Structure 1
Amino acid sequence: MIIVGVDGSRTGLDAVGWAATEAALRRAPLTVAHAVPKWVCEETHGRYAEVGRWMREGAKTVLLSARDRALRERPELTVETTLLPGDPRTALVKASEEAELLVVGSRGIGGVRGLLVGSVAYGVAAHARTDVVLVRDRPSPPQGEVVVGVDGSPGGRQALDFAFAESELRGALLRAVHAWAWPHPSGFEPADPDSERDALRELNEFLAGHRDRHPGVDVVTEIVHGHPVEVLREAAKGADLLVVGSHGHSQLAGMLMGSISQAMLHHAPCPLVVVRRGVPGQD
């Protein structure tokens, strides 16, 4: 099952469109979810009864509009709707326990001007019990390319697992990108050619097992000089999907997301997958 969170915003409906296509590719059912305060879901009496009724009717409208969008995108889909009680972040994280993928828009109705990613999107990306897709700037038509950031870490391996499977599902080219640079007091200094060749060899060795399991996937490997955030943002321009692990080499104990995955929430130029499954100590 794939779950997509909606709030009545345009970005929420864009997320529904993406989720419907993904569900059709996976032959999985789609659940459209909308969260409201817990008391709204309960039968109330007195001064707030009418407010609760009005909010339930509004929630029903949001869910039906999203369901219609999903079926317009993929008429063959099985689409269910559900009203979640509580804070959207907490409710969607709990719902994600039963899902293979959780999809949200980059910003919703409550988005603050100037912020590139909303609090709900950030919250579920940091805490979800499954992989999370943040939908923004879907290429039209699809370009047939998936980009994955590779750093040799356990989180990077999980991202590769997802990226290879997704590329196979879509019949898309997979571009595996590794940012290569030496830290330097004045910034990032490119490595010497011999070291770069060694890094490319190690990258291909790192991919070998995945290639064996997905022989039909065409893979391009790239070693690119620069900071990982800038390298991945440039590599993903025009791509159908960018895949990153939730933690990389630089993870710190107690952090819920690595610095690169956090940055890509704000800077990814296409739909972004943050691979969460298998992350130790998920909240």
Structure 2
Amino acid sequence: MIVVGVDGLRPGLLAVEWAAREAVVREVPLRLVSVVPAWCLEDGPTGAIAEIGAWMRKGGETALLEAAAAAMRAAGKVAVETALVGGDPRQELIEASAEADLLVVGDSGMGTLRGLLIGSVALGVAGHAHCDVVVVRASAAAPDAEVVVGVDGSAAQADVLDFAFREAAARGADLRAVLAWSWRDLLGGGPEASRQALAKALAEGRERHPDVHPSMEIVEGSPVDVLRQAAAGAGLLVVGSRGRGLLTGMILGSVSQALLHVAPCPVVVVRAR
């Protein structure tokens, strides 16, 4: 099942359309979730408060209807269910992700911080969801445009590459693995050691997905800048949820977090297994 956070805004509808097409490819149902404050679904409030609650419930219901219609337009064969729930959007979506294969949100979020480059909800669920997370932003790329995957030589690279191979195979797209390096990496063997390890990983992935044609690119520079440029024109950018630098202990690595703000295409954050 793919779960989508719905908020009635344009970025949210783009997320629904993306998720509907993905659900058809994966042959799984789509669950649209709209979140309102919990008190809006309770019987206690009266007077003006009750009217505000009714207005907010109506808004959530309308958002779900519009999202379901958008899903059917994008992928008519998709099975759609809707849910209006009460609570904090981040927490409710994180809980919903426990039963999902994929959680999809728009880049504006559903909270009060919409002035940020990426919404607080999108940033929150990307770091805490129980499943892989896709943050969708407007992209002119074709559905079969190449899949770009950011690799870093860490143990988590295998899960990230596996996801990227599966997505490329499902889309009939090429796969490009990109690794950014700096001069301090020479202490660990430098780019040549990384090239050999990556070539081996791609060969193993090709054995499992023979229809995918992977390539690799090893570029000196900041991982955020290198991957942002590599993703121009891509259909999808796949990254891990944790980095390998000073901020490795964070739930969401600094590189992944930065790319959620600046990537020019939908970004998948593959949860650390």
TM range (shorter): over 0.9
Q: Verify the 8 A CA contact 2:143 2:171 in the aligned structure 1.
A: no
CA distance in 2, matches of 1:52, 1:112: 21
What SS does structure 2 have at the residue aligned with 1:59?
Answer: helix
1:132 aligned residue: 133
TM-superposed deviation, 1:208: 2.9
Q: Verify the 8 A CA contact 2:144 2:171 in the aligned structure 1.
A: no
Q: 1:15 aligned to 2:15?
A: yes
Which digits, 9 at most, give the CA deviation of each residue in 1:180-222, with x for residues without a partner?
A: 2214xxxxxx96xx94334322210233322221122110111
2:194 aligned residue: 199
CA distance in 2, matches of 1:72, 1:136: 19
CA distance in 1, matches of 2:122, 2:69: 23
What SS does structure 2 have at the residue aligned with 1:249?
Answer: coil
Q: Verify the 8 A CA contact 2:89 2:110 in the aligned structure 1.
A: no
Q: Verify the 8 A CA contact 2:3 2:32 in the aligned structure 1.
A: yes
1:63 aligned residue: 64
**Normalised TM-score (structure 2):** 0.93
CA distance in 1, matches of 2:254, 2:141: 30
1:82 aligned residue: 83
CA distance in 1, matches of 2:224, 2:257: 10
Match for 1:106: what amino acid?
A: D
Return the match for 1:230 from 225, 229, 247.
225
> Which structure 1 segments of 5+ residues have no match?
184-189, 279-283
CA distance in 2, matches of 1:113, 1:274: 21
Q: Verify the 8 A CA contact 2:242 2:248 in the aligned structure 1.
A: no
1:187 aligned residue: none
Q: Verify the 8 A CA contact 1:2 1:101 in the aligned structure 2.
A: yes
What SS does structure 2 have at the residue aligned with 1:117?
Answer: coil
TM-superposed deviation, 1:156: 1.9
TM-superposed deviation, 1:144: 2.2
2:172 aligned residue: 171
Q: Verify the 8 A CA contact 1:139 1:239 in the aligned structure 2.
A: no
Q: Verify the 8 A CA contact 1:179 1:224 in the aligned structure 2.
A: yes
Which digits, 9 at most, give the CA deviation of each residue in 1:100-158, with x for residues without a partner?
A: 00000001465646521110000000110000000012224335200001112122221
CA distance in 1, matches of 2:126, 2:93: 10
> Which structure 2 segments of 5+ residues have no match?
none
User: What percentage of residue pairs aligned between the two structures are identical?
Assistant: 54
Q: Verify the 8 A CA contact 1:154 1:248 in the aligned structure 2.
A: no
1:200-279 map, 5 Å: 200-250=195-245, 252=247, 254-276=249-271, 278=273
Q: Verify the 8 A CA contact 1:251 1:257 in the aligned structure 2.
A: no
Match for 1:91: what amino acid?
A: E
Q: 1:46 aligned to 2:41?
A: no
* Equivalent residue pairs, number: 271
Q: Verify the 8 A CA contact 2:241 2:272 in the aligned structure 1.
A: no
CA distance in 2, matches of 1:132, 1:96: 9
CA distance in 1, matches of 2:10, 2:112: 12
2:148 aligned residue: 147
What SS does structure 2 have at the residue aligned with 1:270?
Answer: coil
CA distance in 2, matches of 1:246, 1:124: 11
TM-superposed deviation, 1:244: 0.2
